[in-house]
Chain A
Amino acid sequence: DGGITQSPKYLFRKEGQNVTLSCEQNLNHDAMYWYRQDPGQGLRLIYYSQIVNDFQKGDIAEGYSVSREKKESFPLTVTSAQKNPTAFYLCASSITGGGNYGYTFGSGTRLTVV
């Protein structure tokens, strides 16, 4: 079955360490996205990519970096520059801009920085 795989589900890191969250999709979607969700909050866009080797900053890109070397993969690195990295991170993909077909989300990675 096609879908999006995020790994790991839970991740613990020490403050000051960079950490990379994995996102892989086999839906043949062109566009991929990273969102951050804090408790009781909506989803805030970190980065998005509509084509391989190209990506754009979202609303809260500071302290994060991404790459899009393959259509299927869009890893997110949370750097030590991110002041408050503990959150639930969601990766999504879509056919185009995500309109009438919607986004397909992965199951998320819960990152805790101690």
Chain B
Amino acid sequence: GQSLEQPSEVTAVEGAIVQINCTYQTSGFYGLSWYQQHDGGAPTFLSYNALDGLEETGRFSSFLSRSDSYGYLLLQELQMKDSASYFCAVTDDKIIFGKGTRLHILP
């Protein structure tokens, strides 16, 4: 079967750094993606890792280790607008999403 595991909730302070982990077990694998979804809104694409290593896009970075079936999303200099749910997703011939991590940010 296919499964993705990520924490259901994470809490951090404004201005701090937070890491959201994701482990996966899938039959096929092309890459790991991350999406952000604010309450009531549509998911928006953040990043994609096909190869091992760290990809940086502004305040957000994403890491992948294919040998460990593991990745994470790193958010730096947290802002209140970063309060949202974050989904990791594995790309095969389609995308399978995890259940999401709700990020709470304290002032």
Task: Assess whether B98 is in contact with A42, with CB atoms less than 8 Å apart.
Answer: yes
Task: Assess whether A42 is in contact with B97, with CB atoms less than 8 Å apart.
Answer: yes
Task: Assess whether B91 is in contact with A99, with CB atoms less than 8 Å apart.
Answer: yes
Stretch at the interface among A13-21, A62-70, A73-81, A104-112: A104-112
Cβ of B77 within 8 Å of any chain A Cβ, yes or no, is no
* 0 or 1 for each of B75-107: is its CB under 8 Å from A? (1 = yes): 000000000000100011111111110000000
Task: Assess whether B96 is in contact with A102, with CB atoms less than 8 Å apart.
Answer: no
B33-50 CB contacts (< 8 Å) to partner A: 33, 35, 41-45, 48, 50
Chain B residues within an 8 Å CB radius of A106: 42
Chain B residues within an 8 Å CB radius of A58: 94
* Interface set of B (CB-CB < 8 Å, partner A): 30-31, 33, 35, 41-45, 48, 50, 87, 91-100
A43-B87, A99-B31, A107-B42 known, 10 other contacts, Cβ within 8 Å: A42-B98, A58-B94, A97-B92, A97-B94, A98-B94, A99-B50, A99-B91, A102-B33, A105-B42, A105-B43
The 6 closest A-B pairs by CB, nearest first: A102-B45, A42-B99, A105-B42, A43-B97, A100-B48, A42-B97
